[in-house]
Amino acid sequence: MNVRSPQTPWRRSLSRGFRQRNPLVLVAAAALALIALLAFESFLVDGGLTTVSQGRLLRIANDDYLHIAYQVAELRSHPPSVPTIYLFGGSGAMESFVSQRSLTAAVRRDSGETVDVVSLAAHQQSFAQNLVIVDNLPRGPAVLLVGLAPSRFTTSPAADARLLSGRPLLLRSPRLELLSGKLFGKHPPFGGVLPGIFDYVGAYLRARAADGVMWGDRIGYAHHYYPAGAKGASPLAKRLNVDSVLTRDRTLYAQYGDYNFTVLRDLIRLARERGYLVAFYDQPLNASAAGPDWAGVVPDYRARAEALARHSGAVYLHVERGVHLNDADFADLYHLLSSGRAKWQPELARQLAGLARKLAARKAAGGSLR
């Protein structure tokens, strides 16, 4: 004799709901599921990430994009109490200073001002990603320090359009959505950043399984791809790679350079509306191996960036003029090793000190940074 276990009323209702074939009921269930997903999306992009420690959310140690989304959520929850220099750029920018803490200390020492430096750089970071990040930053006296390099002008509109879906950054930008027609020729997707959230969850499960790290366990974020003690490619290997790198950068710059300058102008416009000061700087390049003009790309983008800076009131720093780097300081053509960072950071701090004093003066005067 089979004895059926008793069911509570809510379980019986739930069971009947799953067996329901009425189209109106199914439509209502789908609508409720969509509402729940959109609420979950809003929770994440509006600071919900910080309810869990970053280490439990990282897919891999070098999960730059999750790290940035998490940092932005923290900045929104706890805005800086002092003037701030936000550093942007690709992996070349990440490898150009020893640490955020030591760079902040050096800028404070050189300027005599209380200022913070916050790195929001990431590998293969585009100017559109910078715009998305800036659109989510808290108000307050700040400098946007935007790194320039040949590779930063090679991103395609199609690659940046993925940002509208939260790929690869789990951030939503109303400004990028507003510009999507001009930049990408398309409207923002209805689902917002939900596709990016689904991508993140899938990548998280795969990466944790591949590395043998349990879901939810903490892992540490690696701020460098080439940490202290790391060795770079041999001089011969670097030179064997020069032709392919220069050919790629020259081709993609010719194809997408105008688009990326358009985004850079939009970024400056957004910064001015928010009262931020904008400063450009050139990320380190291994001129010893590849030559100083980078197949003509470097002088071209520098001339255009200098003209843009003059027109917009941005500052153009030239850290490279005060630092002597050689081939041994680079891991490859773009990334400094620890010996190179030890040379680059003091000059970077010295030049940032001038911006820190300007921030302090404007804050004391209660004026705008425009």
In a domain, 361, yes or no: yes
Same domain, 125 and 76: yes
User: What mean pLDDT is predicted for residues 129-158?
Assistant: 97
Domain around 129? 46-365
Same domain, 33 and 52: no
pLDDT exceeds 70 at position 17: no
Q: How confident is the model at residue 174 (pLDDT cuts 50, 70, 90)?
A: very high
Same domain, 64 and 148: yes
Same domain, 146 and 28: no
Token pair 């053509």 in the structure block, residue: 333
pLDDT exceeds 90 at position 48: no
Q: Count of domains in the chain?
A: 2
Of 134-143, 148-157, 191-200, where does mean pLDDT reach its minimum? 191-200
Tens digit of pLDDT for each residue in 260-305? 999 999 999 999 999 999 999 999 999 999 999 999 999 999 999 9
Token pair 């080439």 in the structure block, residue: 226
pLDDT exceeds 50 at position 370: no
Whether cis (ω within 30° of 0) applies to the bond prior to 168 is yes
User: What mean pLDDT is predicted for residues 78-96?
Assistant: 97
pLDDT exceeds 90 at position 9: no
Q: How confident is the model at residue 162 (pLDDT cuts 50, 70, 90)?
A: very high
CATH number of residue 327's parent domain: 3.40.50.1110
pLDDT exceeds 80 at position 207: yes
Same domain, 127 and 19: no
Same domain, 310 and 264: yes
In a domain, 100, yes or no: yes
User: What mean pLDDT is predicted for residues 31-36?
Assistant: 53
Same domain, 29 and 135: no
Beta-ladder partners of 119: 87
In a domain, 4, yes or no: no
DSSP string, 79-143: --SS-EEEEE--HHHHTTSS-HHHHHHHHHHHH-S--EEEE---TT--HHHHHHHHTTSPSSSEE
In a domain, 2, yes or no: no
In a domain, 283, yes or no: yes
In a domain, 175, yes or no: yes
In a domain, 57, yes or no: yes
Q: Which residue has the higher pLDDT, 35 or 95?
A: 95
